[in-house]
């Protein structure tokens, strides 16, 4: 990099003849350090102080609002105008009234976005499932804290959490809320930071409390047995996939499929949609259905309208005569957001560090946080009781000789000397003497004395119990379990989201409705796919490809067929040909890893096309083994899009060959040797992940190179390459063999 030019900065010097010294001079800067100095503080602020929730389940904006309402006394009593709350919250959150009110709306009961709302609202707060239903201004609505918030603020005044100064150092605010239940999982939370995001789905409060209690008792508890699936405020139906759900629970990432619930009204011949996924809106669904009807892709609908009212969401679809409602809904599930996916990303700040955690890890972090809260509360109560016991111990000495105390007070000439004289007369400290001096004359009776002495005994027992709690982690956990049980019983409610375990019937393809016509399917080395009709192929020009790319598969088939894409990560992705749009030779086509939502770094290496799943696949591995697997092993009763363990991972995959019947194949090695074998010699293995059998003997440093179908005439003497026993070394090609064919092989 060029050396920095030296500049003389003299802004205070007057301009000479209208020219400022140093103006217009260019100074070179390191772009990396400039961006880091200017952008990193902002990025860290967004991550740590705005977008990512903490272990109590709240972002700072949520916490500031709820704490303000708590300090306003809105946990009990009547509601107040939302504008009052917004104004008071600005003492903690100076980002403007609109942002604060938007936060309150999303936490409210009226908005219906949360399973367990934190704000008890009155007035128009809009609906989360409507794009166009705006909420009223803050001066028209009223709010207070919901009863559940008593569990958020329980014992907050007993030093359970840390407090910090607000932005202008005029008041204190909590860094966390000492929630008595795992609120981080009970209500949904979404945030977009810089370079990262968070999207936590909601779970049933009762199930979460039960699971957390079981996890405290047994760290190896199977959480899926008590927490089967999330629970969404919008209801809908969870299309249960055990593999996907386990991934979400283990890693905190994954995509959960949600499906709208509906009823068919036979008398009116219409479908009433009563709940939709939380990821969409009623207007978005209606607009998409109207577009499909106009495009002629859906012909069974005569009208669609939004009939949402006081009873909740309702989208009504009027059907034409003779239409099967279930069949229509299956089609709409595929073509609209009536069925949608909720992308989970359990990113939470733990000790100021963003971490993506699974459900069990998240609950363990909450348990650790709650243990600390209970210990701090216990320590606070212990100190208070010790202070009170200390006062009563001093009082006890006085009460043993009240006459002496009265005499000391009476004979003391100055008021300021009363406390020192009591200290000297009874051997007590200043705090105890001050307490004694403030006793009213009416309390100098036998009943009062007996009660105070009894209080000493009770306090000593309570202090011993609190000290036992502090010294026993199991006692602390028992307290947490008891509180969890109380919260679950008091605030738990039935699940809103149904769980659909068996989805075979609803995923059946309606083959007769799919137009079946000839198509040409092309797959390139870099993973691009094209579906072109024969007419378009004849009229089109040269195939457009990326630089360095080439077509490795060109197959003539029909539009209603299955396409299997095998990847470099031992997985198989299945698609229907009609799911791809007809295209032309002049376009690049669709990039398969993106189209089929493959994992990061995953690429497609082989395309297989079939309708009846007849035939077999030969998987060739570097170690010289070949696995012969029937194609029907990849057929599934349900419409699964992804198959794991599609082939063995014991040795790197080199090539895949497909054939509908047994025939001869040429097996090549990196040493140049070739082996001609008939696939009938290899036994079929029903297990997809089979390692296969050794076919090619390999010298040190060499590997199996390819598997290709034998073309008649390739070898002048085919017997030279055949063998009766496997594995075999193969033979080097002779000069008489077809060089053109060999280059293809």
Burial of residue 416 (CB within 10 Å: 0-12, 13-18, 19+) is: exposed
Rounded to 5°, the CA angle 531-601-360 comes to 120
Range list of β-strands (E), 639-730? 642-643, 653-659, 664-669, 674-678, 693-694, 704-709
Residue 709 confidence (pLDDT)? 86
DSSP string, 204-218: -HHHHHHHHHHHHH-
CA 349 to chain centre: 14
Domains, in order of start, for the chain: 58-178 (3.90.199.10), 261-337 (3.30.1360.40), 364-490 (1.10.268.10), 511-744 (2.120.10.90)
Answer whether 422's CB lies under 8 Å from 405's CB: yes
Q: What does pLDDT average to over the chain? A: 88
- Model confidence at 367, pLDDT cuts 50, 70, 90, reads very high
Q: What pLDDT sits at residue 513?
A: 57
Q: Is the pLDDT of residue 155 over 90?
A: yes
SS3 343: strand
Nearest to 187 by CA among 256, 114, 119, 128: 114
**408-426 tens-digit pLDDT:** 888 888 888 888 988 888 8
Can you tell me which residue has the tokens 């001869």?
A: 664
* Tokens encoding 167: 């932005």
Asked if residues 229 and 511 have their Cβ atoms less than 8 Å apart, the reply is no
For range 148-163, the mean pLDDT: 95
Q: Report the alpha-carbon distance of residue 66 to residue 93 in Å, rounded.
A: 11
Contact (CB, 8 A) for 698 and 644: no
Beta-bridge partner residues of 625 = 694
pLDDT band for position 108 (50/70/90)? very high
Q: What are 287's two structure tokens?
A: 């607009």
| pLDDT, tens digit, 9 for 90 and up, residues 53-86 | 999 999 999 999 999 999 999 999 899 999 999 9
Instruction: Give the model's confidence band at 475: pLDDT under 50 very low, under 70 low, under 90 confident, else very high.
Output: very high
688 touches 649 (CB < 8 A): no
Residue 401, number of CB atoms within 10 A of its CB: 12
Residue-by-residue DSSP string for 177-206: ---SS-HHHHS-EEEE-SS-EEEE----HH
Provide the sign of the torsion angle of the four alpha carbons 259, 261, 264, 269, taken in this order.
Answer: negative
Q: Which residues belong to the active site?
A: 140
Q: Is 108 exposed, middle or buried (0-12, 13-18, 19+ CB in 10 A)?
A: buried
Q: What tens digit of pLDDT does each residue of 267-310 get?
A: 999 999 999 999 999 999 999 999 989 888 888 999 999 999 88
SS (H, E, C) 248-317: HHHHCEEEEEEECEEEEECCCCEEEEEECCCCCCHHHHHHHHHHHHHCCCCCCEEEEEECCECCECCEEE
Rounded Cα distance between 58 and 89, Å, is 16
Instruction: Out of 357-361, 362-366, 533-537, pick the least confident.
Output: 533-537
On whether the pTM is more than 0.85, the answer is no
Tens of pLDDT along 191-228?
A: 988 888 999 999 999 999 999 999 999 999 999 999 99
Contact predicate 585/537, CB 8 Å: yes
């Amino acid at each position: 990099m060029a050396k920095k030019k030296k500049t003389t900065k003299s802004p205070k010097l007057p301009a000479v003849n209208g020219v400022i010294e140093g103006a217009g001079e260019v100074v070179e800067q390191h772009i990396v350090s400039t961006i880091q100095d200017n952008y990193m503080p902002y990025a860290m602020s967004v991550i740590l102080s705005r977008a990512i929730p903490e272990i109590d389940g709240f972002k700072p904006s949520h916490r500031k609002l709820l704490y303000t309402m708590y300090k306003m006394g809105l946990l009990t009593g009547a509601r107040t105008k939302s504008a009052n709350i917004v104004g008071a919250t600005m003492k903690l959150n100076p980002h403007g009234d609109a942002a604060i009110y938007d936060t309150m709306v999303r936490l409210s009961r009226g908005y219906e976005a949360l399973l367990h709302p934190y704000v008890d609202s009155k007035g128009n707060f809009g609906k989360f499932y409507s794009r166009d239903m705006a909420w009223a201004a803050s001066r028209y609505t009223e709010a207070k804290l919901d009863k559940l918030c008593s569990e958020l603020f329980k014992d907050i005044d007993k030093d359970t959490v840390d407090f910090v100064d607000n932005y202008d150092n005029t008041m204190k605010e909590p860094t966390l809320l000492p929630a008595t239940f795992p609120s981080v999982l009970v209500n949904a939370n979404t945030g977009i930071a810089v370079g990262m995001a968070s999207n936590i789905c909601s779970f049933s409060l009762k199930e979460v409390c039960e699971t957390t209690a079981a996890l405290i008792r047994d760290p190896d508890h199977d959480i899926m047995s008590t927490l089967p699936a999330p629970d969404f405020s919008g209801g809908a139906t969870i299309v249960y996939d055990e593999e996907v759900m386990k991934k979400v629970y283990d890693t905190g990432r994954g995509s959960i499929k949600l499906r709208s619930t509906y009823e068919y009204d036979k008398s009116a011949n219409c479908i009433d949609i009563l709940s939709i996924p939380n990821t969409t809106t009623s207007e978005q669904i209606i607009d998409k259905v109207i577009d499909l009807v106009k495009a002629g892709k859906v012909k069974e609908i005569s009208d669609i309208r939004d009939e949402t009212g006081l009873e909740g969401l309702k989208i009504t679809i009027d059907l034409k005569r003779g239409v099967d409602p279930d069949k229509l809904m299956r089609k709409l599930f595929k073509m609209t957001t009536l069925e949608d996916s909720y992308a989970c990303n359990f990113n939470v700040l733990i000790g100021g560090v963003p971490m993506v955690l699974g459900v069990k890890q998240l609950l363990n972090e909450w348990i650790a946080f709650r243990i600390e809260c209970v210990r701090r509360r216990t320590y606070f109560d212990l100190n208070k009781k010790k202070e009170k016991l200390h006062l009563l111990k001093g009082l006890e000495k006085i009460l043993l000789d009240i006459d002496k105390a009265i005499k000391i007070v009476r004979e003391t000439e100055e008021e300021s000397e009363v406390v020192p004289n009591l200290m000297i007369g009874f051997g007590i400290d200043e705090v105890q003497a001050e307490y004694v001096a403030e006793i009213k004359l009416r309390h100098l009776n036998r009943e009062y004395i007996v009660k105070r002495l009894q209080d000493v005994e009770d306090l000593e027992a309570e202090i011993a119990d609190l000290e036992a709690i502090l010294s026993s982690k199991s006692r602390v956990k028992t307290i947490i379990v008891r509180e969890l049980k109380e919260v679950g019983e008091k605030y738990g409610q039935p699940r809103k989201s149904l769980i659909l375990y068996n989805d075979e019937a609803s995923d059946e393809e309606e083959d007769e409705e799919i137009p079946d016509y000839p198509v040409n399917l092309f797959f390139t080395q870099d993973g691009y796919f094209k579906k072109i009709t024969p007419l378009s192929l004849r009229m089109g020009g040269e195939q457009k490809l990326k630089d360095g790319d080439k077509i490795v598969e060109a197959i003539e088939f029909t539009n209603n067929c299955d396409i299997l894409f095998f990847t470099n990560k031992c997985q198989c992705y299945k698609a229907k040909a009609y799911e791809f749009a007809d295209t032309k030779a002049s376009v690049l086509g669709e990039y398969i890893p993106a189209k089929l939502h493959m994992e990061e770094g995953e690429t497609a290496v082989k395309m297989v096309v079939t309708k009846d799943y007849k035939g077999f696949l030969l998987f060739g591995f570097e170690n010289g083994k070949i696995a012969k697997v029937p194609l029907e092993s990849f057929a599934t009763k349900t419409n699964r899009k992804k198959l794991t363990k599609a082939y063995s991972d014991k040795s790197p995959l080199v090539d895949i060959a497909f054939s509908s019947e047994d025939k001869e194949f040429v097996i090549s090695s990196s040493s140049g040797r070739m082996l001609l074998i008939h696939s009938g010699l290899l036994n079929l293995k029903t297990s997809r992940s089979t390692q296969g059998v050794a076919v090619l003997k390999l010298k040190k440093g060499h590997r199996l190179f390819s598997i290709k179908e034998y073309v008649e005439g390739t070898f002048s003497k085919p017997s030279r390459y055949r063998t009766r026993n496997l594995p075999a070394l193969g033979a080097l090609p002779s000069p008489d063999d077809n060089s053109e064919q060999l280059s293809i092989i």
